[in-house]
Protein backbone atom coordinates (compact mmCIF):
# COMPACT_ATOMS: atom_id res chain seq x y z
CA UNK A 1 0.00 0.00 0.00
CA UNK A 2 2.87 2.36 0.84
CA UNK A 3 4.49 1.70 -2.54
CA UNK A 4 1.24 2.44 -4.35
CA UNK A 5 0.76 5.66 -2.39
CA UNK A 6 4.38 6.71 -3.05
CA UNK A 7 4.06 6.05 -6.78
CA UNK A 8 0.79 7.98 -6.91
CA UNK A 9 2.39 10.91 -5.12
CA UNK A 10 5.40 10.88 -7.48
CA UNK A 11 3.08 10.75 -10.51
CA UNK A 12 1.00 13.69 -9.23
CA UNK A 13 4.12 15.75 -8.53
CA UNK A 14 5.54 14.94 -11.98
CA UNK A 15 2.31 15.95 -13.72
CA UNK A 16 1.91 19.04 -11.55
CA UNK A 17 5.36 20.42 -12.28
CA UNK A 18 5.68 19.47 -15.94
CA UNK A 19 3.84 22.48 -17.38
CA UNK A 20 4.69 23.81 -20.85
CA UNK A 21 6.31 27.21 -21.18
CA UNK A 22 4.69 29.15 -23.99
CA UNK A 23 6.70 31.55 -26.14
CA UNK A 24 3.65 33.41 -27.36
CA UNK A 25 0.73 34.87 -25.41
CA UNK A 26 -2.91 34.92 -26.33
CA UNK A 27 -4.54 37.57 -28.48
CA UNK A 28 -7.84 38.94 -27.19
CA UNK A 29 -10.86 39.51 -29.42
CA UNK A 30 -10.23 43.27 -29.31
CA UNK A 31 -6.60 42.78 -30.35
CA UNK A 32 -7.71 40.40 -33.10
CA UNK A 33 -9.83 43.24 -34.54
CA UNK A 34 -6.58 45.16 -35.17
CA UNK A 35 -5.13 42.19 -37.05
CA UNK A 36 -8.38 41.79 -39.01
CA UNK A 37 -8.18 45.43 -40.15
CA UNK A 38 -4.53 45.07 -41.13
CA UNK A 39 -5.30 41.88 -43.07
CA UNK A 40 -8.28 43.44 -44.87
CA UNK A 41 -6.07 45.31 -47.34
CA UNK A 42 -7.22 48.21 -49.47
CA UNK A 43 -8.98 48.09 -52.83
CA UNK A 44 -7.88 51.07 -54.90
CA UNK A 45 -5.71 51.99 -57.85
CA UNK A 46 -6.80 49.05 -59.96
CA UNK A 47 -6.30 46.28 -57.41
CA UNK A 48 -6.45 45.08 -53.85
CA UNK A 49 -3.25 45.55 -51.90
CA UNK A 50 -2.18 44.05 -48.59
CA UNK A 51 0.54 44.54 -46.02
CA UNK A 52 3.44 42.08 -46.24
CA UNK A 53 2.89 38.90 -44.23
CA UNK A 54 6.09 39.61 -42.29
CA UNK A 55 4.75 43.02 -41.23
CA UNK A 56 1.51 41.42 -40.05
CA UNK A 57 3.57 38.80 -38.16
CA UNK A 58 5.48 41.54 -36.33
CA UNK A 59 2.24 43.26 -35.37
CA UNK A 60 0.86 39.93 -34.16
CA UNK A 61 4.00 39.32 -32.08
CA UNK A 62 3.58 42.74 -30.42
CA UNK A 63 -0.08 42.01 -29.66
CA UNK A 64 0.88 38.63 -28.16
CA UNK A 65 3.58 40.22 -26.02
CA UNK A 66 1.34 42.94 -24.55
CA UNK A 67 -2.22 43.22 -23.32
CA UNK A 68 -4.18 46.14 -24.74
CA UNK A 69 -7.65 47.05 -23.51
CA UNK A 70 -10.69 47.15 -25.78
CA UNK A 71 -10.81 50.96 -25.90
CA UNK A 72 -7.20 51.18 -27.07
CA UNK A 73 -7.80 48.52 -29.71
CA UNK A 74 -10.92 50.33 -30.94
CA UNK A 75 -8.92 53.58 -31.22
CA UNK A 76 -6.29 51.82 -33.32
CA UNK A 77 -8.94 50.17 -35.52
CA UNK A 78 -10.54 53.60 -36.07
CA UNK A 79 -7.21 55.03 -37.26
CA UNK A 80 -6.61 52.09 -39.60
CA UNK A 81 -10.09 52.50 -41.09
CA UNK A 82 -9.63 56.26 -41.47
CA UNK A 83 -6.27 55.78 -43.24
CA UNK A 84 -7.83 53.17 -45.55
CA UNK A 85 -10.70 55.56 -46.36
CA UNK A 86 -8.20 58.29 -47.26
CA UNK A 87 -6.46 55.94 -49.69
CA UNK A 88 -9.70 54.73 -51.27
CA UNK A 89 -11.23 58.22 -51.57
CA UNK A 90 -8.12 59.76 -53.12
CA UNK A 91 -6.91 57.06 -55.49
CA UNK A 92 -9.27 57.68 -58.43
CA UNK A 93 -7.37 57.36 -61.69
CA UNK A 94 -4.26 55.86 -60.11
CA UNK A 95 -2.80 52.58 -61.33
CA UNK A 96 -0.57 50.78 -58.88
CA UNK A 97 1.40 47.55 -58.66
CA UNK A 98 1.82 47.41 -54.87
CA UNK A 99 0.64 49.09 -51.70
CA UNK A 100 3.84 51.14 -51.47
CA UNK A 101 3.46 52.16 -55.12
CA UNK A 102 -0.15 53.22 -54.50
CA UNK A 103 0.73 55.22 -51.38
CA UNK A 104 3.59 56.93 -53.22
CA UNK A 105 1.22 58.18 -55.93
CA UNK A 106 -1.15 59.89 -53.50
CA UNK A 107 -0.92 63.67 -53.06
CA UNK A 108 1.51 64.81 -50.35
CA UNK A 109 -1.31 66.26 -48.22
CA UNK A 110 -3.08 62.88 -48.20
CA UNK A 111 0.17 61.06 -47.38
CA UNK A 112 0.62 63.42 -44.42
CA UNK A 113 -2.92 62.71 -43.18
CA UNK A 114 -2.27 58.96 -43.44
CA UNK A 115 0.97 59.41 -41.46
CA UNK A 116 -0.98 61.33 -38.81
CA UNK A 117 -3.28 58.31 -38.41
CA UNK A 118 -0.29 55.96 -38.23
CA UNK A 119 1.37 58.07 -35.54
CA UNK A 120 -1.89 58.36 -33.58
CA UNK A 121 -2.41 54.57 -33.70
CA UNK A 122 1.18 53.98 -32.56
CA UNK A 123 0.76 56.51 -29.75
CA UNK A 124 -2.41 54.76 -28.57
CA UNK A 125 -0.34 51.56 -28.24
CA UNK A 126 2.47 53.45 -26.42
CA UNK A 127 4.77 53.01 -29.41
CA UNK A 128 6.92 55.48 -31.31
CA UNK A 129 7.98 55.43 -34.96
CA UNK A 130 11.48 56.53 -35.93
CA UNK A 131 12.37 58.30 -39.16
CA UNK A 132 13.47 55.02 -40.79
CA UNK A 133 10.15 53.33 -39.99
CA UNK A 134 11.35 51.29 -37.01
CA UNK A 135 8.72 51.05 -34.26
CA UNK A 136 9.96 51.15 -30.67
CA UNK A 137 8.17 50.97 -27.34
CA UNK A 138 8.49 53.64 -24.62
CA UNK A 139 11.37 51.69 -23.05
CA UNK A 140 13.31 52.02 -26.32
CA UNK A 141 13.04 48.34 -27.30
CA UNK A 142 12.59 47.75 -31.04
CA UNK A 143 9.18 46.22 -31.67
CA UNK A 144 8.74 46.33 -35.44
CA UNK A 145 11.45 46.71 -38.06
CA UNK A 146 10.63 47.52 -41.68
CA UNK A 147 10.84 44.25 -43.58
CA UNK A 148 13.42 43.99 -46.34
CA UNK A 149 15.24 41.13 -48.01
CA UNK A 150 18.25 41.90 -45.83
CA UNK A 151 16.08 42.01 -42.71
CA UNK A 152 13.54 39.15 -42.70
CA UNK A 153 11.19 38.72 -39.74
CA UNK A 154 10.78 35.52 -37.75
CA UNK A 155 7.33 34.85 -36.30
CA UNK A 156 7.05 33.73 -32.67
CA UNK A 157 5.25 30.40 -32.77
CA UNK A 158 4.09 27.64 -30.51
CA UNK A 159 5.24 26.50 -27.12
CA UNK A 160 8.65 25.51 -25.86
CA UNK A 161 8.63 22.25 -23.90
CA UNK A 162 12.33 22.23 -22.97
CA UNK A 163 11.65 23.31 -19.39
CA UNK A 164 8.92 20.70 -19.06
CA UNK A 165 11.26 17.92 -20.19
CA UNK A 166 13.97 19.11 -17.80
CA UNK A 167 11.56 19.18 -14.86
CA UNK A 168 10.12 15.79 -15.79
CA UNK A 169 13.62 14.31 -16.09
CA UNK A 170 14.64 15.77 -12.73
CA UNK A 171 11.54 14.35 -11.10
CA UNK A 172 12.22 10.91 -12.59
CA UNK A 173 15.78 10.97 -11.22
CA UNK A 174 14.42 12.02 -7.82
CA UNK A 175 11.81 9.25 -7.96
CA UNK A 176 14.49 6.69 -8.86
CA UNK A 177 16.65 7.90 -5.98
CA UNK A 178 13.71 7.68 -3.60
CA UNK A 179 12.98 4.15 -4.78
CA UNK A 180 16.60 3.05 -4.19
CA UNK A 181 16.67 4.63 -0.74
CA UNK A 182 13.28 3.14 0.06
CA UNK A 183 14.45 -0.30 -1.02
CA UNK A 184 17.58 -0.04 1.15
CA UNK A 185 15.51 1.19 4.10
CA UNK A 186 12.97 -1.64 3.75
CA UNK A 187 15.81 -4.22 3.44
CA UNK A 188 17.48 -2.97 6.64
CA UNK A 189 14.17 -2.73 8.53
CA UNK A 190 13.28 -6.35 7.77
pLDDT digits (tens, 9 = 90+) for 12-46: 555 655 555 444 568 889 999 999 998 998 888 67
* Separation between Cα atoms, residue 19 and residue 35, nearest integer Å: 29
**What pLDDT does 5 receive?**
58
Q: What is the mean pLDDT of residues 170-182?
A: 81
**What pLDDT does 134 receive?**
79
pLDDT digits (tens, 9 = 90+) for 112-158: 898 888 889 888 888 888 777 778 877 777 777 665 555 555 555 55
Amino acid sequence: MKKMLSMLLVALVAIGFALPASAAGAITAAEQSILNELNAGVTAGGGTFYFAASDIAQAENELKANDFDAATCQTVVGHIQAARALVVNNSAGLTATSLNNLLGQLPKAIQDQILDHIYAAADALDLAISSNGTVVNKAGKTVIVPTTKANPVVKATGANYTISFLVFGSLMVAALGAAVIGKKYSATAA
